[in-house]
Amino acid sequence: MSAIMKVMLADHPADAQWGDKALISFNQSGTAIHLVGSEAECLRLIQRAGRRLDSQGIKQIALVGSDWDLERRYAFYQGFYNPRAGQSLYLGDMAAAEQRQLDALLEVTRWVRQLTNATPEELYPQTLAEQAATFIGQQAPEAISFEIISGEALKDQGHIGIYQVGRGSARVPALMVLDYNPSGDPSAPVAACLVGKGITFDSGGYSLKDSDNMLPMKSDMGGAAMVSGALALAIRQGLKARVKLFLCCAENLVSGDAFKLGDIFTYRNGVSVEILNTDAEGRLVLADGLLCAAETGTRHILDAATLTGAAKVALGRDYHAVLSLDEMRSLQLCRWASEENEKSWPLPLESWHLGQLTSNFAELGNVASAEGTAGATTAAAFLSRFVPSGMDWVHMDLSASYQKNGNELWAAGGKGHGVRTIARWLREVCA
């Protein structure tokens, strides 16, 4: 059994023998991480150090010294995490209240990352819905109720987007509706709603992806994992308002029964949509969830989805894209993200962007076809058609939720990055 490596923090540069601006050095007592710069820069250095130590095969670590606070411990954990497991990390002694906060963060983040990394054979629409309901239910069993609507029942109840996108798979699509109602009063108002995209595997449908782009598509349920984890975290942090969660779950596969280019869907609000690209399926299932959320009478809706490649082109894998018809809502969410040491960035969305989703046969096309249109923005514009005017609605395109390959900060796979931001949004709008 390997020895435990002790890791401490140092506020001075490493000795020259470790190289110019060395991040870590070793001595008889263990390892030192050398911190220079603002606190935000120091957190990034700590996460890099955790990632580097894992990449060197060090599997047992104890954080020692008095300079570790909650944020620094959490940053190290994020970098040290390895989806293949086999690690042992002692995070050090801390006050009971801080320990509870950190335990909640670690449990939720670990769950989101593991769920996102699950194989499409083990995680499909029904199991995604069940696992999310079970995990959230563990946080407050007496306050949680849920139902899962699946298969033909979706069609019968008018959830046409989820039904049509998922009907090409032998594993039936599902809508999970979860009610967190801590008051126990069935007439209590719904303070906020969360809607998550739960595409457990996305082949692109008849607009087929190539193998390189299809490989990470087990992670296309990252929005469902993120909003579920965020609600669980907010409950652990003391959320007392009623919240409803809608997970829109399906596999987007090719078969004789799969939806096709040229099909037209007509939603419960009367909006007709022509399918111009079957690989733009996320917005089709989210439309059902947004309609359900609006019907609760809430004022506040947040949806989260791994929705567009365009958001990744714009922002890379470091920032989530945030869009709203009210720019101040986007900016406020990005501020909350920054305060939670997560990264989001606003992208533009105007009411006239909806006019770029044209169809010769329906009210909307599910993608924009004109030259020069913005992919992430027009996807959000599509969603806006299913949210009542004046609603406090914000959309997160989760460009920073998953990485096909590891880098200096993150192991390959799900990151859990964004769960704190959404939990913060819940606490703020429900206050």
Going from the C-alpha of 209 to that of each of 202, 222, 254, 346, the distances in angstroms are: 8, 18, 11, 28
CB 200 within 8 A of CB 102: no
Distance of CA 255 to the CA centre of its chain: 29
- Rounded to the nearest 10°, the torsion over CA 22, 24, 27, 32 is 120
**DSSP state letters, 396-424:** EE-TTSEESS--SS--SEE--TTHHHHHH
Token pair recorded at residue 107: 């449990």
Question: What is the rounded distance in angstroms from the CA atom of residue 354 to the CA atom of residue 368?
Answer: 9
Q: Is 283 a catalytic residue?
A: yes
User: Which segments of 167-323 does DSSP mark as H helices, in order?
Assistant: 211-214, 222-236, 282-295, 309-315
Active-site residue, 209 included: yes
Contact between 169 and 250 under an 8 Å Cβ cutoff? The reply is yes
Distance, in Å, from the CA atom of 68 to the CA atom of 91, rounded to the nearest integer, reads 9
Given 48, 167, 171, 283, the catalytic residue: 283
Between the alpha carbon of residue 420 and those of residues 46, 102, 217, 263, 276, the distances in Å are 19, 12, 23, 38, 35
Among the options 209, 260, 343, 385, which is catalytic? Answer: 209
Could you tell me the maximum CA-CA distance found in the chain, to the nearest angstrom?
A: 73
Helix (H, G, I), strand (E, B) or coil at 202: strand
Q: Which residues are catalytic?
A: 209, 283
